[in-house]
Each structure stands twice: as structure tokens, then as C-alpha cells.
């Protein structure tokens, strides 16, 4: 099947003028370099990267806001730079940091305006709106001006606006940024359901690894403008092997323990953190022989640890590591 997003050798340069007024220098900055990936219909893909990595630039190119400097890009079969308005009718976009709604108008009016912009006919609109109001629980604040909404409410409003025209692709730029735990959970649940019921392809950029763990079966990691990983979450762990950590509560504070197959990385009173390089059972047995242990916990590396390790490798990784089970 035709991929929803097909990027090959995508590149984008910026020219930056720097320096004081009389001695301006122009330098070419490579914001995105040779990025190649594709997204199949129905996938949920996370697009990760540290700040300034080129995530927003890529998203802007995908939506046609920015024209690429190099490479080939097709979204929903169209070239975004040339067919921006046609593409816009097939894609829903949510910007996390900037609302797509109108600030001074009530949410209801914003959605009505959006409907006109996307030329959705009245009957279809009222049915879809009712469904979205129900699923996103917009009812209580439909009449409130957008500027008075909380961040979580506004984000739900933005999602509704993005889905009013039933797009095949939903692009989300940091959708859960700044939200409280409950709101994040609600939005993630909604997105999963949408993808499951309608097959809407979802591409989201995020810093929140909770989003990634809950939503994405596949992640694409970009760093300094280059693709450093493309695959499933298991593959991500395999790429940047991160040791498990044994958290030990000793009976009394002691010097950092020295046990074969473990490395003490942190000590706080009676609690010590040990990075494991050997079988945990052996380490625990050895530890129990030499120390009085009150309690212990075995921690799997979280995605944060894996990605942090990946970022720290920086420009070192050239080719994208093959994923474990890429969907």
C-alpha cells in the first residue's frame, strides 16, 4: 500500500546572519540532513529528538509550511511544497504550543469557523461534532472563549478542530506538553481509540516519553538533523543497551558496596543504586552474603534512559540502527 508519508534524503538548510551590525556573517546551518523514512497507513509513529534536533523543521516540511532544500517528500501522495492547500484538506495538524483556535471566540464558534474553512457540510459536521464532543468531553466548555480555557481543555479543542474534516493523517507537534497527568492520559486514550477505530495514521513529535511508551509502536529518532534510529521500542532498547539498576536499601548507611557484576553509581544514606552488568540473582546472592539488606528493587531501564543514552552518543551514530520489530 502507498505510504502516507514518504521522505527520501530530505534536507533543509537555513542561512543565519550572525554577528554585530556592521560585521554580519552569513552561515549555512544544516537543520535537517538526509532524512529518509516512511509511514504506512494506520501506524502511530513517534518522532523524537532533543531540542533543536530538527523535529519542528521536519514537521513544517511535511505540512508544506516550509519548502525542503533537498530530497523527495510525499505526504498522502502529494508534494507538500507544491500542493499545500490540497494536502491541507487531508491532514489534521495540532501544534502543542500554538492553538489553531481563535483566541477571543467561544470554542463552539471556533469549531464552526473551522468547519467552514474545511468545507464540511452541515449534516456531516453536526454528526462528527457530536461524536467528538462526546469522546473528548468538550460539552462543559463549548461556550467558553478559548483564551479562558485551561491548557488541557484547549488541547482537546485543538484535537477536535483537527479531526472535524476526518483526515487520514494526524500530525501532532508536542501535543501533551505542559499538561497534567490526567489530561495526558485522556488524550493518549483518545488517540489510541481513534487509530484503532478509524485507522487514522498518527505522527507525533514529543519530548514526553510517556507518550511514546503508551502510543507508539514505532519511533524515529532524530538528532542534530540526522536520523539516528528508526524502529520499534524493543529495538530502541537494544540499540542503546542500558543496564538494569538494583536499588538496595541496606540496614544501615555504609560505604559504596563492591560486588562482582555491579557498579555502585549513587549512594543516599542507606540506599544505594547499583548498575548491573551480570545476572541479578548472582549479584543479590553475593550482596546478601556481605551486607545486611533490608529491601531491594530491580529497575528496568525506562525509555528516558535509553533515549538519553542515544542522544549522548550524538553524531557518533551514522546509519539508522535496524529496528527489532518495525511495524
Contact residues: other proteins, CB under 8 A: 14-15, 57, 60, 63-67, 81, 84-86, 88-89, 91, 93, 95, 97-100, 102, 104-106, 109, 112-113, 116-119
Q: How far is the CB of 99 from other proteins (least distance, A)?
A: 8
CA 149 to chain centre: 24
| Residue 310, Cβ density class (10 Å: 0-12 exposed, 13-18 middle, ≥19 buried) | buried
A 10 A CB-CB count for 208 gives 22
CA 192 to chain centre: 14
Tally the C-alpha atoms within 13 A of residue 259's C-alpha that lie toward its C-beta: 29
Beta-carbon contacts of residue 251 (< 8 Å; ≥ 6 apart):
270, 291, 292, 293, 294
Residue 297's DSSP bridge partners are: 247
Nearer to other proteins, 147 or 193 (CB): 147
Nearer to other proteins, 7 or 228 (CB): 7
Q: How far is the CB of 98 from other proteins (least distance, A)?
A: 4
Nearer to other proteins, 93 or 240 (CB): 93
Q: How far is the CB of 5 from other proteins (least distance, A)?
A: 15
Nearer to other proteins, 133 or 171 (CB): 171
A 10 A CB-CB count for 18 gives 10
Q: How far is the CB of 276 from other proteins (least distance, A)?
A: 46
Nearer to other proteins, 63 or 153 (CB): 63
Nearer to other proteins, 63 or 272 (CB): 63
Say if CB 161 and CB 173 are below 8 A apart: no
Q: How far is the CB of 165 from other proteins (least distance, A)?
A: 8
Q: Single out the residue of 299, 314, 317, 316 nearest to residue 243, CA to CA.
A: 299
Q: How far is the CB of 89 from other proteins (least distance, A)?
A: 4
Nearer to other proteins, 79 or 109 (CB): 109
N-term to C-term CA, the chain? 14
Q: How far is the CB of 87 from other proteins (least distance, A)?
A: 8
Whose cell is 498518527? That residue is 202
- Residues 207 and 8: their CA atoms lie apart, in Å, by 24
Q: How far is the CB of 32 from other proteins (least distance, A)?
A: 11
- Residues 200 and 21: their CA atoms lie apart, in Å, by 49
Nearer to other proteins, 148 or 290 (CB): 148
Amino acid at each position: 500500500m502507498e505510504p502516507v508519508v514518504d521522505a527520501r534524503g530530505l534536507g533543509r538548510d537555513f542561512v543565519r546572519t550572525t554577528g554585530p551590525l556592521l560585521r554580519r556573517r552569513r552561515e549555512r546551518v544544516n537543520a535537517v540532513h538526509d532524512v529518509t523514512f516512511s509511514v504506512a497507513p494506520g501506524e502511530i509513529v513517534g518522532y523524537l529528538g532533543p531540542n533543536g534536533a530538527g523535529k519542528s523543521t521536519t514537521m513544517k516540511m511535511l505540512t508544506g509550511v516550509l519548502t525542503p532544500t533537498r530530497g523527495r517528500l510525499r505526504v498522502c501522495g502529494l508534494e507538500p511544497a507544491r500542493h499545500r492547500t490540497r494536502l491541507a484538506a487531508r491532514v489534521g495538524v495540532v501544534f502543542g504550543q500554538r492553538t489553531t483556535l481563535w483566541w477571543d471566540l467561544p470554542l463552539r464558534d471556533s469549531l464552526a469557523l473551522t468547519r467552514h474553512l474545511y468545507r464540511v457540510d452541515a449534516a456531516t459536521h453536526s454528526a462528527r461534532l457530536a461524536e467528538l464532543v462526546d469522546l473528548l468531553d468538550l460539552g462543559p466548555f463549548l461556550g467558553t472563549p478559548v483564551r479562558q480555557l485551561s491548557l488541557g481543555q484547549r488541547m482537546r479543542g485543538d484535537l477536535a478542530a483537527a479531526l472535524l474534516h476526518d483526515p487520514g493523517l494526524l500530525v501532532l507537534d508536542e501535543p501533551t506538553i505542559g499538561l497534567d497527568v490526567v489530561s495526558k492520559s485522556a488524550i493518549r486514550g483518545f488517540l489510541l481509540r481513534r487509530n484503532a477505530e478509524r485507522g487514522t495514521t498518527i505522527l507525533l513529535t514529543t519530548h514526553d516519553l510517556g507518550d511514546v511508551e503508551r502510543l507508539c509502536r514505532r519511533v524515529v529518532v532524530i538528532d542534530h538533523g540526522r536520523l539516528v534510529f528508526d524502529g520499534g521500542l524493543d529495538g530502541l532498547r537494544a540499540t542503546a543497551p542500558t543496564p538494569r539498576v538494583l536499588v538496595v536499601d541496606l540496614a544501615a548507611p555504609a560505604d559504596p558496596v563492591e560486588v562482582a557484576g555491579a557498579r555502585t553509581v549513587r549512594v543516599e544514606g542507606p540506599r544505594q543504586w547499583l548498575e548491573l552488568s551480570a545476572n541479578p540473582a548472582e549479584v543479590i546472592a553475593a550482596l546478601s552474603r556481605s551486607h545486611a539488606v533490608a529491601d531491594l528493587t530491580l529497575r528496568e531501564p525506562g525509555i528516558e534512559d535509553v533515549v538519553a543514552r542515544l542522544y549522548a552518543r550524538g553524531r557518533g551514530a551514522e546509519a539508522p540502527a535496524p529496528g527489532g520489530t518495525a511495524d
